[in-house]
Amino acid sequence: AQTVTQSQPEMSVQEAETVTLSCTYDTSENNYYLFWYKQPPSRQMILVIRQEAYKQQNATENRFSVNFQKAAKSFSLKISDSQLGDTAMYFCAFMKLGNNNDMRFGAGTRLTVKP
Amino acid sequence: DSGVTQTPKHLITATGQRVTLRCSPRSGDLSVYWYQQSLDQGLQFLIQYYNGEERAKGNILERFSAQQFPDLHSELNLSSLELGDSALYFCASSLMWAGKETQYFGPGTRLLVL
């Protein structure tokens, strides 16, 4: 079974600085997707970024980028130029390819961006 | 706004009761996923439907059931409710089912069982 671990329950960063959120996962699968979702106080789940395991190049979406280390089963999220609106819970998620699209989430990291 | 709608937004009921949560996927999306977010269990995948058929099952209790109708909207039925069923229930949709597509989440239905 796949497990996703986020070892940082809470983090804080000053506005305009950079922060990295950690995520590790355990799987025997070779083909899968990894995601970072953001959940602001409104509780809406918002996709931040996703990474296909077969791609070596790290995904980037504007100020958000990932460091995907497949051998180490690590998938960290870097937020550059942090903004107050980045304050939210961030969930790392794993989904294997195939018929059973069981998505597994980490416990989340609560990020606070301070002015 | 993701384009996924869920009703009702809030639901308060008593133990032993049955409720139905409704989800309308984004226009054109064929897959619907249901998730439960609770304080003790975190975010859990419950079940997925694709074009009316069950495609994948996660940690869904036997007291829970779901279906997807011909117009692609989906309903999650929760019966014999217990206090521990209190949670935020999300629906998400995607175009297909193979995991290649982004899942777009609805705003959720907050269920409180008293």
Q: What is the pLDDT of residue B99?
A: 58
Minimum-distance CB partner of B45 among A43, A45, A102: A102
B5–chain A Cβ distance below 8 A for any pair: no
Is the peptide bond preceding residue B107 cis, with omega within 30 degrees of 0? no
Cα–Cα nearest to B42, from A29, A5, A66, A10: A5
**Count of beta carbons in the 10 Å neighbourhood of residue A2:** 16
In the predicted model, is pLDDT for residue A20 greater than 90? yes
User: pLDDT (tens digit, 0 to 9) for every residue of chain B, 114 residues total?
Assistant: 889 999 999 999 999 999 999 999 999 999 999 999 998 888 999 999 999 999 888 889 999 999 999 999 999 999 999 999 999 999 999 887 665 677 899 999 999 999
B7: tokens are 């009703």
In the predicted model, is pLDDT for residue A7 greater than 90? yes
Question: What are A66-107's pLDDT values in tens digits?
Answer: 999 999 999 999 999 999 999 999 999 998 876 666 788 999
A24-26 and A3-5 strand pairing: antiparallel
The pLDDT of A7-36, averaged and rounded, is 95
B95–chain A Cβ distance below 8 A for any pair: no
Q: What is the pLDDT of residue B73?
A: 97
- CB atoms A103 and B33 under 8 Å: yes
Which residues does B106 contact at the CB level (< 8 Å), separation at least 6?
B2, B4, B5, B6, B23, B90, B91, B92, B93
What whole-number distance in Å separates Cα of residue A89 and Cα of residue B13?
28
The Cα of A109 is separated from the nearest Cα of chain B by a number of Å equal to 12
B25–chain A Cβ distance below 8 A for any pair: no
Torsion angle of C-alpha atoms B4, B8, B11, B17, degrees rounded to 10? -100
Q: Is the dihedral of CA A85, A62, A97, A27 positive or negative?
A: negative
The pLDDT of A103-115, averaged and rounded, is 94
- CB atoms A97 and B100 under 8 Å: yes
The pLDDT of A25-48, averaged and rounded, is 91
Which chain A residues are closer than 8 Å to B45 by Cβ?
102-105
Pick the more confident residue, A56 or A37. A37
The model's confidence at residue A30, banded by pLDDT at 50, 70 and 90, is: confident
Pick the more confident residue, A17 or A96. A17
Minimum-distance CB partner of A45 among B97, B98, B105: B105
Minimum-distance CB partner of A101 among B43, B48, B102: B48
Cα–Cα nearest to B63, from B48, B78, B82: B78
Amino acid at B45: F
Site of tokens 């079974």: A1
The Cα of B62 is separated from the nearest Cα of chain A by a number of Å equal to 18
The Cα of A29 is separated from the nearest Cα of chain B by a number of Å equal to 14
Q: What is the pLDDT of residue B98?
A: 60
